[in-house]
Amino acid sequence: MTLQFPPGFQWGTATAAYQIEGAAQVGGRGASVWDTFSAQPGRILNGDTGAIACDHYHRYAADLDLLQALGVKHYRLSLAWPRLLPTGRGPLNQAGLDFYQRLIDGLLARGITPHVTLFHWDSPQALEDCYGSWRSREMAQDFADYATAVVKALGDRVTHWMTLNEIFCFTHMGYGVNQVPVHAPGTRVASLKDVWQTSHHALLAHGLGCQAIRAASPQPCQIALVDNFLATVPLTATPDHIAAAQKAFHTVGTNGGIIFPALTGEYSPALLAQLGDQAPDIQPGDLETIHQPLEALGFNVYSGVYVRAADTVVGYEVLPLPVGYPRLHMPWLHLVPESLYWGIRHISMTLQRPDLPVFISENGCAAQDEVTAEGEILDLDRIHYLRQYLQAAHRAVAEGYPLTGYFLWSLMDNFEWAYGYDRRFGITYIDYATQQRIPKASFHWYKQCIAAGQIL
Ligand code: IFM
């Protein structure tokens, strides 16, 4: 059967500043928490850092040509806060601004719409030194001021903004209790409540950031939050298991304390009951600030969990995956394509936000790519993965859910955080020794899909 997407469907790819730019000390860029964290022995696999990465800062024009060759009309990128505000505050760094203007103008000249994330984890080290980054409420106001400066400067050419990428990852994975966190800034805190306080501050940053973008934008714009909420997939699509998946959606991962307040204005009561005295302190007015009107939601989806109805206190069970369950090249990257469909359905059904357009802001996988003697990368496992997730996207569209686009993660291999360069998520292979870019089989396959508007 032909799986055709509607004509306006936005096909794209995504990257993030720290993962590709390199040029960490060029053009007056300040240090980010990821520079500091990755320089510490033992934090990153093989001692890798983002200091050079894909050298996109210098090679951006060739990378834009690659995007054009792929045929995407939409590209998601992020801005490095410390490249624009080296100490986190104060006036814009002209060299940093010049770089992003060149990059964005290069996209527009190629007929590609920039979708810009203001924050993808690389916060200024100066703010870490000043007050401990997300441990402080001050971070929310500093983010909003950064948003104001950036949107004033770039809002003449950018109309698609995203505030923060994956709050869970830079808060709950960056601050830990009784363990060294795997993400920057890598701070141990005293209690789970302290960890939840960091994500609460990030939500405030999102809310104040939305207000700042709207006030500063010289033209109407679209604002989105990007979240990697955990989709609960009913084991069988029958009313009892669907109801169980809906209940579980509140309490799995950090859903109840991130996507719920952002989209409904309330932390999930089920989560708050679970957290008890470990829930974050919420000041009067915070929830109103957090619950801003949005034009869209970005859903980063890679995997999910299966749930079934059960005779337990909560009425459901989250099922453990068997040892042999299919998985791509990350410990958590289990193949659960239905999670894309059910995630979107939960936004409509469980969060009661059928009005809110959703786009897939990231989907993709790491694979154990090899270059053949002929110089090809035959990443058939990646194509297999992508095809199934796109089928789930098609199902969502066909059933009338407001899914507007799909941004494949990632345009190219890049710095995969704690896994360094060991894990490759790109549809373009990077030979890090030479910085040569080699489109993989998945690149050629995706190009054909985009051209046809179909899953091929
Ligand atoms: O590489 C990351 C990205 O920065 C955020 N979302 C998940 C990707 C794969 O782990």
User: How far is the centre of ligand 1, averaged over its atoms, from the C-alpha of 407 (Å)?
Assistant: 12
Mean pLDDT of the chain: 98
Among protein residues, the one whose CA lies closest to atom 1 of ligand 1 = 416
Closest ligand 1 atom to the C-alpha of 16? Answer: 4
User: Over 90: is that where the pLDDT of 377 sits?
Assistant: yes
CB 187 within 8 A of CB 127: no
Q: Considering 128, 166, 338, 416, which one is annotated as catalytic?
A: 166
User: How far is the centre of ligand 1, averaged over its atoms, from the C-alpha of 165 (Å)?
Assistant: 9
Q: Would the CB of 416 count as within 6 Å of ligand 1? A: yes
pTM of the model: 0.98
pLDDT tens digits for range 87-117: 999 999 999 999 999 999 999 999 999 999 9
- Residue 14 inside a domain? The answer is yes
- Residue 24 inside a domain? The answer is yes
User: How far is the centre of ligand 1, averaged over its atoms, from the C-alpha of 416 (Å)?
Assistant: 7
Place of tokens 């066909």: 398
Number of domains in the chain: 1
- Residue 1 inside a domain? The answer is no
| Distance spanning both ends of the chain, measured CA to CA | 10
- Residue 186 inside a domain? The answer is yes
360 forms beta bridges with 299, 406
Q: Give pLDDT, residue 70.
A: 99
- Residue 204 inside a domain? The answer is yes
Neighbouring residues of 283: CB distance < 8 A, sequence distance ≥ 6 = none
pLDDT tens digits for range 283-342: 999 999 999 999 999 999 999 999 999 999 999 999 999 999 999 999 999 999 999 999
Q: Round to whole Å and give the CA distance between 347 and 371.
A: 40
- Residue 360 inside a domain? The answer is yes
Minimal CA–CA distance to 158: which of 262, 88, 78? 78
Closest ligand 1 atom to the C-alpha of 417? Answer: 1
Among protein residues, the one whose CA lies closest to atom 10 of ligand 1 = 416
Mean pLDDT of 202-230: 99
- Residue 34 inside a domain? The answer is yes
Identify the sign of the CA torsion 208, 33, 103, 386: negative
Q: Give pLDDT, residue 76.
A: 99
Range of the domain at 125: 10-452
- Residue 2 inside a domain? The answer is no
The answer to whether 370 is a known catalytic residue is no
User: In Å, how far are 49, 122, 286, 388 from 167, measured between CA atoms?
Assistant: 22, 12, 17, 27
User: Quick one: CA torsion of 19, 21, 24, 28, rounded to 10 degrees?
Assistant: -140
CB 440 within 8 A of CB 379: yes
CATH of the domain at 138: 3.20.20.80
Among protein residues, the one whose CA lies closest to atom 4 of ligand 1 = 16
The answer to whether 166 is a known catalytic residue is yes
DSSP label at 424? B
